[in-house]
Amino acid sequence: MAEPEFSATGVRIARWLRSLTRAGQVVVRDGRLVLLTSYGREIDSAPVDQVRVSGPWYAAQDRVMATVNGNRYVLRLKGQLRDGLVAALRRAGTRGSGVHGTGTVSGRRAAPR
């Protein structure tokens, strides 16, 4: 198995208001995004070109909204890991397909009101 392009531990993963894990893991490896529980059990995974990631305008800088297989997850990443995740998904998406896939990676946030 190849070295992960991005890995973050201690990630709070929630689906809407339901917390799935407080200490989960997000891994981008071999062109796939994988969400894992604190015990290493897979919550969800998909090829990066089918994953949509954006920063919700209403949330803090450490949160990311990820749509994986039609399911929306809120990922609470520590520190500057949000930018690292977005960059890893972009690199993996362009490397895997050679062209931009159907997935969307948005690192922009709406202006504060």
Tens of pLDDT along 26-72? 999 999 999 999 999 999 999 999 999 887 666 677 889 999 999 99
Give me the domains of the chain, ranges plus CATH numbers. 6-92 (2.30.29.30)
pLDDT band at 96 (very low <50, low <70, confident <90, very high): low
pTM score over 0.85: no
Of 63, 59, 60, nearest to 85 by C-alpha is 63
Look at 24 and 4; give whichever has higher pLDDT: 24
Phi-psi group of 11: left, alpha or beta (phi > 0 → left; psi -120 to 50 → alpha; rest → beta): beta
